[in-house]
Amino acid sequence: MKVLIVGCSSGAHALAWKLIQSDQVEKVYVAPGSPGTADEPKVENLEVETTDIPGLANAAAQYDVDYTLITPTQALAAGIVDYFQERGLKVLAPTREASKLEWSKEYSKQFMQRHKIPTPGFKVFADAPSARQYAHARSLPLVLKVDGMANGGLGVVIAHEWQAVDETIEHMFTTYGGPIIVEDFLVGEEVSFTVLFDGSHYVPMVESRDYKRLHDNDKGPNTGGMGAYSPVISQALSQKIIDRLVEPTIRAIKEDAIDYLGFLYFGVMIDPEQEVHLLEINCRLGNPELFTMLERMDSELGPLLELALARRLQQAEVRWNDKCAVALQISSAGYPGVKRTGDVISLPSGEQEAKIFHAAVSSAQGQLVTKGGRIISLSASADTLEAARERIYAVARKIHFDGMHYRKDIATLGAR
């Protein structure tokens, strides 16, 4: 089996790392990949950018891959799956129209409302004055969301003061043009719940919890995620999420005649009364959540993805271990705003207690250098959460580049 992965993130690196553990996988190509994927056995980087859809399709055809995996949401929104399908190339990801569940928050929220899937109250606005007027009639804090895509978690802001509400609304319309969503804030604990869906059947993945804020104790701006851990909740709560959120969403997709194939990520809020609410839907694996999922997956990934492509997931038998998994993101100075680049990265040599994945990393004159944003991802598992944390942070302390930043409280009680 040969697979093409589109992406250069640490998520693409992790998927390649998991796939090559299978004897059935002969080769994994990553476009454009990273220095980390280049060092993996059975993995080859291709010099094709994620925005070059015809070039990616040509590569899939040239190297005769069995299927392609897509990691960037931007590629889904640009119609990469539709183009591949027109070329007769197999791709495990939703079409542009199906992935609108992620890249249009307006569409997604209205989808939830229309199908009576529990979600926080909201309203969509096409202009700043109307949004401000509505917001000031609500209670703080408020969640403000850009309709389309915004990198680095900047498309979602939780505003705790009226000045922040007004400034954020103005900034969102000025920067992204609108519309924007003004959403009620829910108190509770967030959980990331993911399934692999073949259009008829689905397989649940293990749940995880990510840390979206930049700094310890849940302070600072939203990011794409600074770390994650798993397990998080009881089997009873997992079943409640399936019964009240996953199953209704699957039924709604079928009722709306959406031809969906790929991963579905559910951003869930569990309130103090243990009721579950759907905050968002993503049409891919979450990052950093996927590291904890792959750490806890005992079965091979390749055969599972093949069953999804064949739309035979009802035959899947996925084995999960009982270990505790932790993931950590190390970012550059300035993230998630203006990102600092060009700093030389020093990584420990030899086998480590945590797996090191390359994100925004490039190679220049024999050295690894930062490209800005989330630079290095780490994942580890152990019998206890504390042991997994110790492994992660022991390796993090051996990594260095100027301006590097990471949270110190991932997987500690009371932090999200």
* pLDDT for residue 232 is more than 60: yes
- Measured CA to CA in angstroms, residue 247 lies from 83, 120, 231, 240 at distances of 30, 18, 21, 10
In the chain, CATH 3.90.600.10 covers 324-396
* pLDDT for residue 168 is more than 50: yes
**CATH tag, 189-315:** 3.30.470.20
Mean pLDDT of 321-350: 95
In the chain, CATH 3.30.1490.20 covers 121-184
Residue with token string 């591949």: 84
pTM: 0.94
Q: How confident is the model at residue 149 (pLDDT cuts 50, 70, 90)?
A: confident
Q: How confident is the model at residue 276 (pLDDT cuts 50, 70, 90)?
A: very high
Q: How confident is the model at residue 416 (pLDDT cuts 50, 70, 90)?
A: very low
Could you tell me the two tokens for 406? 């990471």
| 2-7 vs 67-70, strand pairing mode | parallel
* pLDDT for residue 151 is more than 70: no
Q: What strands lie across the sheet with 227-230, from one edge to the other?
A: 209-210, 227-230, 324-331, 374-382, 355-358
Q: How confident is the model at residue 189 (pLDDT cuts 50, 70, 90)?
A: very high
Could you tell me the two tokens for 177? 């043009």
Residues 349-401 have pLDDT tens digits of 999 999 999 999 999 999 999 999 999 999 999 999 999 999 999 999 999 99
Q: Tell me, what DSSP letter sits at residue 216? A: G
Residue 395: the pLDDT is 98
Q: How confident is the model at residue 301 (pLDDT cuts 50, 70, 90)?
A: very high
Mean pLDDT of 270-297: 97
3-state helix, strand, coil in the chain (%, to 5): 30, 30, 40
Residue 338: the pLDDT is 85
Mean pLDDT of 153-182: 92
Phi and psi for 12 in degrees, rounded to 5?
Answer: -60, -40
Q: What strands lie across the sheet with 122-125, from one edge to the other?
A: 122-125, 180-184, 142-146, 156-159
- Asked if CATH classification 3.90.600.10 holds for the domain at 324-396, the reply, yes or no, is yes
Q: Are 175 and 152 in contact (CB under 8 A)?
A: no
The CATH class, in words, for 2-95 is: alpha beta
Residue with token string 């851990």: 229
Residue percentage of the chain with pLDDT more than 70? 98
Residue 400: the pLDDT is 98
The domain at 121-184 falls in which architecture? 2-Layer Sandwich (3.30)
Mean pLDDT, the chain, as a whole number?
A: 96
* pLDDT for residue 415 is more than 60: no
In the chain, CATH 3.40.50.20 covers 2-95
Cα distance between the two ends of the chain: 39
Interior/surface letters 202-225, b for 16+ CB within 10 angstroms, e for the rest: bbbbbbbbbbbbbebeeeebbbbb
- 105: amino acid identity, one letter: K
Residues 65-115 have pLDDT tens digits of 999 999 999 999 999 999 999 999 999 999 999 999 999 999 999 999 999
Q: Are 379 and 18 in contact (CB under 8 A)?
A: no
Cα dihedral 279, 280, 286, 290 in deg (nearest 10): 50
Q: How confident is the model at residue 153 (pLDDT cuts 50, 70, 90)?
A: low
In the chain, CATH 3.30.470.20 covers 189-315
Q: How confident is the model at residue 152 (pLDDT cuts 50, 70, 90)?
A: low
